[in-house]
Amino acid sequence: MGWVDEGITGGASHATQAQALAYLLARNVAAAQAKKIEPLAPDVAATIVAAFWASGTRHGIAPDGALSESIAETAAYTFGGQVAAGQHNPAGLGATNDGAAGGGWRDWPSGIDAMFVHLLAWCGDPRGDGDYRIAAVRGAIREKGVATTWRSLGGRWAVRDGVPWQQQATMTANYGDGIEAHWQAMAATKVAATTKGTTMSAVTDYPSPNFGYPQGEHGRSGQKVEAIVIHISEGSLASMRSWFGQPASSASSTYGIGKAGQRERYVKEDDSPWTNGDVKKADLSIPWLARAIEQGVNPNELTETIEGEGFYTEPVPEAKYQAILATVRERLAARGLTASKTTVIGHFQINGIDRANCPGPNFPWARLYHDLAVTANVGPKTKSMLLLTAWELGRKALADAGAPDPYGLYLFEATADLTGIAPTLPKAAQCLVCKKAVLWVGNAGAVDTMHRGQYEGLVTAGKVQEWR
C-alpha cells in the first residue's frame, strides 16, 4: 500500500509547496538537459506549482498527488509527445491513442484546474460534471467503473495499447507506481529550515573553477568576511551556470538566486568568489572597504556574493526577494555579522562606474534593511545621492558657524512605494526637505521635485520617515 492507494478526493497531502517547486525544477532541468532543450523558466514553474495548490484547495484533492501525476504525464514538463507545452495541458487531457493532441487552455492555471475537474469526473463526483470530456468519461465509467484512488487511474485515465484495461491496474510497472515514485521523491526533497517566516529552497551546487588567489586556492588568505554583496546577473540562472563554469569568464559568485526563489552555489562560502574585484569609485564611507583599498586587499577576499537572476530594469519577484532575505540572514548569522548598511551592500558601492545599476534602482533596499532590522530604514549611501552630501555639509557649515538652520534642512527616506506619485523614482528614495520644496534622489541618481504640501501628506500617511 502506498500514497496512491489513498482516495483521490479527501486524501492527505505529503509534500509542501516549497518541496514541490524544488522537485519540479530539479526534474525539469534534468529532463531538459537530456533532451537538449531549454528548461522551464523559474517563474513559470512557480506559477504551475501555485496553481496546483490553489486548485487542490478548491477541489479537495491533494495538490502534490496531482502534480506527481502531471510530472509523470508531461515528462517533467518537457513534453515531446502528442501534447505541446503551449497547450497548457498538464496531464494529456484528451490526448488519445488515435493520435488526438488533446485539449488546450489559455494559461497554466486554467489547464491545471481543468485537470482537477477531470479527476473529479473520474471519481464519479458531481463536481466533475463540468469536465470538458464528461461524456467520454461517463461512457468509460459504465464499462470500467469509477477511479477512486490514484492507482486506479491506470487503465482509465492512462491506457496502454494492446493491454486489456483490467490487467493494467495490477501490472508491476503500472501508472500508479509512476505517480508514487514522484510523490515520494517530492516529499523527500530537502528545503532549508524556515528563518523568521521565510522558507529557503535547498542549495544546488554548480562548482565554478573561478575562485581563490591564486586560482583554485581554497580559503581567503587569512582574511575575514566583512559583508554580503548583492548583484544582478543580467541573465538567467542557466546563463549564470554557463558563464561561471567557464575558466575564461574569470567570474563567479558564492550564490545565485532565481526568480522563483531557487538557490544555486558556485563557490564554497569559505573560498573567495571572483565578483567584486573591479573597484572603481567605491563608497569610502564603508569602513572595511576603505581599509581594503588602502591596504591593497581584494574585496573578493572579504565578501560573499549573491547574484540575482534577471535584469536591473525588472522588479524583484517576491519569491526571489524572500530567498535573498533568507540567504542574507543565514550568512550574516554564520559569519557572526550584524545586519547594517556596511555589512549588506550592493555591487554599485564597490564599482560606481561600470556597475552603477547593480543590482539596480528597483532593488528594494529600504524593505531589505527594514526586514533585517537595521536601525535606519534607508538604502545604502551612494555617490549618486547628492542630497546626502548637501545635507551633511550644509548642517556642518551652519553648526561650525554657530548659526541656526534657517532652511530647516532634513533628510528623509521613503518607506513605501512612491512611484505612483513620482514615476521617475525607484521605490526607495531619499529626500532633502527645505522651506519651499522637496527634492528626491533615488539609488540610480534620478531627481524629482515635489511641493512641500505633497511631502507633508506623505509624512501624515507614514510613507516617509526622518533619517536620524
437-442 sheet: strands from edge to edge: 447-451, 437-442, 429-433, 410-414, 464-466
Asked if residues 323 and 403 have their Cβ atoms less than 8 Å apart, the reply is no
Here the cell at position 326 is 533568507
Q: How far is CA 375 from the centre of its chain?
A: 26
Using DSSP bridges, classify how beta strands 344-346 and 227-232 pair: parallel, antiparallel or unpaired: parallel
From the CB of residue 449, how many other CB atoms can be counted at a distance below 10 Å?
A: 12
How confident is the model over 338-361, as pLDDT tens digits?
888 899 999 999 998 888 889 988
Look at residues 354, 389, 378 and name the one whose alpha carbon lies nearest to residue 282. Answer: 354
Chunk the chain into consecutive blocks of 10 residues (it has 468) and report each block's average pLDDT, rounded to whole numbers.
89 86 87 86 79 88 95 92 89 76 88 94 92 86 88 73 52 73 91 44 86 94 95 93 94 93 92 93 90 94 96 86 89 88 92 88 81 54 42 56 54 57 50 50 45 57 57
Asked if residues 269 and 334 have their Cβ atoms less than 8 Å apart, the reply is yes
Asked if residues 128 and 117 have their Cβ atoms less than 8 Å apart, the reply is yes
Here the cell at position 243 is 558563464
At 412 the pLDDT is: 56
**What does the radius of gyration of the chain's CA atoms come to, in whole angstroms?**
28
Q: Is the pTM of this model over 0.85?
A: no
At 61 the pLDDT is: 94
- Helix axes of 42-59 and 108-122: crossing angle, nearest 10 degrees: 40
At 314 the pLDDT is: 86
Asked if residues 266 and 243 have their Cβ atoms less than 8 Å apart, the reply is no
Q: Helix, strand or coil for residue 393?
A: helix
* Phi, psi values for residue 372, rounded to 5°: -85, 0
* Phi, psi values for residue 430, rounded to 5°: -105, 150
Full set of structural domains in the chain with CATH: 3-187 (no CATH), 203-371 (3.40.80.10), 386-466 (no CATH)
